[in-house]
Structure 1
Amino acid sequence: MSKPRSLLLPPRTRARALETARGDFAVLDTEPLGRRRGTVLLLPGYTGSKEDFLALLGPLSEAGYRAVAVDGRGQYESRGPRGRAAYRRRALALDAVAQAAALGDGPVQLLGHSFGGLVAREAATIAPAAFRSLTLLSSGPGRVTRPQRIRIRVLRVGLALLTKERVWQLMCWLDSRGEEPDTTDVPELAVFLRRRWMRTRIAQLAGAGRLLLCRQDGTEELAALRMPLHIVYGTDEMVWPVADLAAAAARTGAHHTVVKGAGHSPNVSHPRELTDLLTGFWEGADAPAGFRTVP
Structure 2
Amino acid sequence: MSTPRFLTLPPGVAPQKIETPQGSFAALEALPVSGVVERWPALLVPGLTGSKEDFIAILQTLAQSGRRVLAVDLRGQYETPGPDDPSAYTCAALGADIDLLAQATGGGEPIHLVGHSFGGLVTREAVVDGRTKFASFTLMGSGPAAIVGRRAHHSRTLMKEVPEQGLEEVWHSRFEPEALNAGVPDDILAFLRKRLLANSPTALACMAEQVVTMHDRTEELRQVEVPTLVLYGEHDDGWPPETQSEMAAALGAESVVVPGAAHSPAVEAPETTAAALVRFWNAAESRLLDSRSGGM
Q: Which residue of 1 aligns with 2:124?
A: 121
CA-based RMSD: 1.9
Segments of structure 1 that go 5 or more residues without pairing to the other structure are none
Structure 1 distance, partners of 2:214, 2:97, is: 23
What letter corresponds to residue 196 of structure 1 in structure 2? R
Deviations 1:58-97 (A, max 9, x none): 1112222211000111100001001101111111011111
Q: Which residue of 1 aligns with 2:294?
A: none
Pick which of 128-137 and 198-207 moved more.
Answer: 128-137
Q: Post-superposition shift, 1:153? A: 1.0
Written as runs of structure 1 = structure 2, the 5 A alignment for 1:82-161 is: 82-105=84-107, 106-127=109-130, 129-161=132-164
Is contact 2:42-2:70 (8 Å) kept?
yes
What letter corresponds to residue 169 of structure 2 in structure 1? R
Q: Quick one: percent identity of the two aligned structures?
A: 38
Deviations 1:35-66 (A, max 9, x none): 32221100000111110001010111222221
- The TM-score normalised by the length of structure 2 is 0.92
- The TM-score normalised by the length of structure 1 is 0.92
Structure 2 distance, partners of 1:174, 1:121, is: 33
SS for the counterpart of 1:54 is: helix
**Number of equivalences:** 287
Segments of structure 2 that go 5 or more residues without pairing to the other structure are 291-296
SS for the counterpart of 2:61 is: helix
Is contact 1:89-1:119 (8 Å) kept?
yes
Q: Which residue of 2 aligns with 1:162?
A: 165
Pick which of 164-173 and 49-58 moved more.
Answer: 164-173
Deviations 1:142-199 (A, max 9, x none): 3322222111111211112213211112332673599xx542xx22211111011001
Q: Which residue of 2 aligns with 1:35?
A: 36
Q: Which runs of 4+ in 1 moved over 6 A?
A: none
Q: Post-superposition shift, 1:290? A: 8.0
What letter corresponds to residue 211 of structure 1 in structure 2? Q
SS for the counterpart of 1:223 is: helix
Pick which of 263-272 and 123-132 moved more.
Answer: 123-132
Pick which of 27-36 and 47-56 moved more.
Answer: 27-36
Structure 2 distance, partners of 1:182, 1:287, is: 43
Written as runs of structure 1 = structure 2, the 5 A alignment for 1:1-16 is: 1-16=1-16
SS for the counterpart of 2:3 is: coil
